[in-house]
Each structure stands twice: as C-alpha cells, then as structure tokens.
Amino acid sequence: MLYLPFDGSAQAALSGGDASVINAAGSYRFKPGLRGKCVELNADCRYNTAGNFNAAAGTVAVWLRPNWKGNDGPGHYLFCLYGSNQVKDSWMHNRWSVLAAGGKLNFGVYPAGAGMQTAVEAPVGDWQPGQWHHVAVTWENLNSGKADAQLCLYVDGKLAAQKGGLQIDVGPVSDTLDVGRDSDGSPDYGDADFDEFYLYGRALSADEIAKAVALVTQPEPAPRSVVAGKWRSDWWEDAWHFRCRANVDSTTPGIGVRLPLDFQTDLSALGVAGALDPASLRVVPCEAKTGQCAKDAKPLAVEAGDGELLWRLPERGGQQVQVYFDVIALDAALPLFVRAAGRSWPEPRAVEARRVPDYATDTYGDAWDFNEGDFEGIDQWGNHDWCLKNKQVKDGVLSVDVSEDPWFIWGNMWSQVGKTERPVAIDLAKYPVLKMKVRQSCPVAQWEVLARVGRPELLTYKFEVKGQGWQVVRVDLRKDARWAGVMDAFRIDPTSEVAEAHVDIDWIRLTNETEGQRAAVETLGQPTGQVATLTVAVERKQAQVGSRQTVTVRATDKSGAPVAGQPVSVQVTTNGDGRLEADPTHRTLTLDAANRRGLTDADGKLTVTLVSSRTVAAAADAV
C-alpha cells in the first residue's frame, strides 16, 4: 500500500517500499484540501515501484480538484507507469495510465506483447474547475494465463465503466511511477489539486470504494493530550519517541540553519505506520562535552515549511543539536480512509524566540511574501510594458506574464525613481542568501539578479531554473555570485530572453543560513514489556565466503514472553568486507554497511541478512 495524504509533504505516510518522493524540480504548493491539505500538481511527483506496486491486481484512487473543464482537449494525467527501461518502446508495453482528455476519463493497460492498450472510459465532460471529484481504478487477475482479468473505473464512488473476461499478460515495469503526470517527461501534468492518493496491491470492491467516498468528510478523531514525559540522561524527554542528531558547520551566532524534513523515509524503513507531526518538532541544543541534552535545556524557536526545518543558531553553542519529534499514528483499517490519531502538544517551554534572519522582516516588519495583497514595495517594473503583463497579487502569490526582458527592482538603480517606497540598504554580510519560492511555465529558463552597491558598476549573476512546478530556488550571493557590500538597489529578472512565459512567486527572502547535517532517525519505540534477555542467532557459524544468511535477534521479558516494539541495533564487525542488508521479511533502517536499526515484531524478533566477507579468515565477521 502507498498512501499520500499530501498534508504539507509529498512523502508517503504509509508505503510497502521506499516512502520518499523523487522530484528533481523542487518543492510543491500545498493548500487547504478535502481532508487536511492537498497539493497542486504541476510538477514531477514520482515514487519507487518496488514494494509499492503489484502488476497482478491493484487499485489507484485519488481525490482531485481540476483547474480545467472536463471537455478540455489537452490530456491531464492522474497516474502513469511505464514498462521497464530494459523493454523497447516502454511507453507501449507493460504500461498503466489514468488520464482525462476531451471529455473522457481513460484507464488503460498496455500488455507485454504487441498490441493496443485495453482500456475503459467514462464521460467527465460536465466537470468544472474548482470542483472535487473522486477517481478510482482497479485491475485484477493480470498474468493469470486465463481470460479472467477485469478492469474497472469508478467516478465519485460509482462504477462508471468495466471490462471483464480479458487475458492481459504484462511484464516488468519501470522502477518509478508518476502521480499527476505522464512518465515520458512531457508536460502533461494533472494541473489539479490532489488529495488522499492511494495505491493498493489488490482490487478493492465497489462497496469499499463507495463507502470510502461517502466517509471522506468525516472528522478526524480529536487529538489526544500528550502525557508529560521525563528527562533521561540519553534522551531529552521521553514523551517524544523519535529524534535525530544534527551538526551545524558554523560558529556564526544568529545564522539561520535549515534541515530538510526528510524523516519519512527513515520512518518507513523502521516500519513506523505514521507521518511526521510538525507540531511536535523541537530542536534542543546539546552540551559540547557530552553530546547530550541537559535536563533544563530549552528548545530553540523553529519554523517548519516547504519541506525544511529552520532555526537560528544561538549566541553560544548550538553546533550540535538533537531534533525531537513524534508521528501522527495512522489507522488504515478501512480501505481508502486512513484516519490520523494526532496528539495535542504543549507549548514549548521557555523557547528562545529568535526567528531566522530575513531582511524585509527585520528592516520593515513586513516580509516579501505578498500575503497582504500588495506588491511589497517594489519600486520599478520593466523593461517595457509588454515585458511584464497582467501582473497581480492573488492568494498571496505574485503572478505575471513575462517576455524577453522582464524585471522588477527594490530601490533606485538608475536614478529614475523620485522617491523609493522604502529605503533599501541590504548588507550582504548579514543577508547573503537569496531564497525564492517560484513556479514557471517553461521547462527551463535563465534568471538573473543585479544590484548596485554605491558605485556605477552593477553586480550581476545569472542562474538556471529548471522545472515547471513550485520550487525553492536558493542562491548564495557571496559564494556563488561573489558579491560584497551594501545593496542600495536590488533587481530580479524572472526569466530572461524567453519569448513568452508565466511566472508565479510565492515569497522572496534575503537571509543568512547554512544547512545542518543529520544522522539517521533514532526511536525509543513503544515496547510491550521490559526486555530481560536479548539473544542473537545466526544460521551458520561456519559460513562460506560471500554467503548470505539470516541473523535473528529475539527480545523477551523475564517470563520469557516476547517483547514487541523494542528498538534494536545490529552491527557486524568485519576483518574483510562483511556487511548487513535488509531481510525481505523485516524492515530495518540502514545506518551504514555494517549497521542496521529496527523494531522487534509481534514475536519479539528482528531479522537482518548477513553477507559474509569474501576473504577467508577465522572469525572474519562478528555480529
């Protein structure tokens, strides 16, 4: 099962394989959805198929709110999976696709051999922009060798089309699947808001689909209050069940630190059925000597958004921190209706309330975020009227049609402005990093920034922006552009020498930040008992070089009963090249080639695979 709630992240909340999203274009734009948040998909949204897709039988289901009419001519893909790249013409072999075009919704499967796709279609010509609809497709009995396969298409919870009595034989599929676009790289994006995406390894029944559609607006369970935890010498407060250690390679007080919020991949590897709870995030400084958090350690003020966690380096220390968090537990008992059991977190105690540096906020008390519906004090627009057309601020986004040489300026760059709306004095020593959340209609474009620093010569720097989806662009003006000084005028060219394009800008920041480096996620788990005995067993103590065998760890309490949910780390010490790999029957997190971490199952067991050294030696590998 692959479940994508799109509640502020495109990473899977539940998955049978890798939970991470593959997206070369950057970030997404999230907004209020049907349940929680949804994502506007005009960007790559791709996932690994291993463990997440079953060719023999399955279900794809999603809620979508299109930006187009149902009878629009261009195709809008909701889901696509090509055949393996080892197969010639993979676009027409072993392919699954769901798309809307010309008033019809189409679900089709291309077989392994030569031939046209087998498809089912339903009319959607009455769909209007901004209206929510539910789409589900199912397939079963593929590769059975008999004429018993069936394809079904459901619209808004009702069976809209089906074909049965089919023989469909398919072969290997691609390593990745696409949500909201064609897999061939063409810009056939869904151009819609997507919410509650599911991929099952079985064909759901008509009753299961109808019931889930009827339940979609049911409220989530009320959040449970967090039971107060206690400090431990090796854990800041045990009400938080997860953490990761992070290092900051800077000693500059006040500098911003950003850390990618990519914890979901680690959680999935640990077999945790839950999604990161943003309200639970706490960044706690460590003591330099011990690397642990003191009992009275105060968490730092943090900002979470756009797939990253931000905080400000304190005046003293802070190069080592521990990021504590918890998950929103997910109940997946009802198909297509995962319910989130959230928790109500207390206000952080005595947090140091210093925000990440931002020039506009620090100077004017007003971020360049377009949230007030104005143009944020921009003084000039150019180069000609036709270079920047239809500019407007709507829903907190600057939107403009651009052509050839578009630009806008804060300040008086060429003495053409009688009086600027605000004084401009941007010290690059304090605010060297430009960050923008942008979207462009062209696949790739060159952008440019220019500045005046009190002398006639202009500072200039060009950079490339790739992709058509929402993304955060980051330019270090000191390191990348080699700028220095105090800018009294600052210009941004949103694309350059592009005949025609559309550009959206969500926000612009001039900041000072560095990226933190994190270790793998650790967890306290939720053991069902107190471990009294921990045993490690291998299949063969005398192993052949390069052989593979299962290592089993078993946790029991003093009565001999299994302890489930116990975190366990397994390490191999090797005199050669022995290593540990995941066992197919048990999820574990890779720390490095010699170390894995996981949780014991209901039988109190954890298993990993030992790959023995390829060098003959006594006691070459020890677990």
DSSP for 23-61 reads -SS---EEEE-SSSEEEEESS--EEE-TTT--SSSEEEE
Q: What is the pLDDT of residues 196-235, one digit of tens each?
A: 999 999 999 999 999 999 998 777 766 666 667 788 889 9
Query: Would you tell me how many other CB atoms lie within 10 Å of the CB of residue 530?
Result: 10
Q: Which pLDDT score, from 0 to 100, does residue 571 have?
A: 97
Strand (E) positions, 145-294?
Answer: 149-155, 158-166, 176-179, 192-200, 224-225, 242-247, 256-260, 274-276, 282-285
Q: Could you give the CA distance from residue 82 to residue 61 in angstroms, rounded to a whole number?
A: 18
Spell out the domain ranges in the chain: 2-215, 224-356, 359-512, 525-622
How far is residue 526 from each of residues 184, 240, 242, 568, measured CA to CA in Å? 44, 11, 11, 12
Multiple choice CATH, 359-512, 3.40.50.1780, 3.90.79.10, 2.60.120.430, 3.40.1390.10:
2.60.120.430
With beta carbons less than 8 A apart as the criterion, state whether 270 and 276 touch: no
267 contacts: CB under 8 Å, gap ≥ 6: 19, 242, 274, 275, 276, 327, 521
DSSP 8-state symbol, 235: B
Multiple choice CATH, 525-622, 1.10.599.10, 2.102.10.10, 3.30.1380.10, 2.60.40.10:
2.60.40.10
* Phi, psi angles (nearest 5°) of residue 438: -135, 165
Residues of the chain with pLDDT under 70: 24-27, 187-188, 221-227, 348-354, 618-619
Q: Which pLDDT score, from 0 to 100, does residue 11 have?
A: 85
Fold equal for 2-215 and 359-512: yes
Q: Would you state the structure tokens that stand for residue 597, as one six-digit string?
A: 């971490």
Three-state secondary structure call for residue 515: strand
Do strands 343-344 and 224-225 pair parallel, antiparallel, or not at all (unpaired)?
parallel
Q: Which pLDDT score, from 0 to 100, does residue 352 have?
A: 57
Element spanning 472, H or E: strand 471-476
Three-state secondary structure call for residue 311: strand
Q: Could you give the CA distance from residue 408 to residue 370 in angstroms, rounded to a whole number?
A: 14
Multiple choice CATH, 2-215, 3.20.20.480, 1.10.10.10, 2.60.120.200, 2.40.128.20:
2.60.120.200
433 contacts: CB under 8 Å, gap ≥ 6: 474, 475, 476, 477, 510, 511, 512, 513
Q: Which pLDDT score, from 0 to 100, does residue 459 have?
A: 97
Q: Could you give the CA distance from residue 223 to residue 341 in angstroms, rounded to a whole number?
A: 6
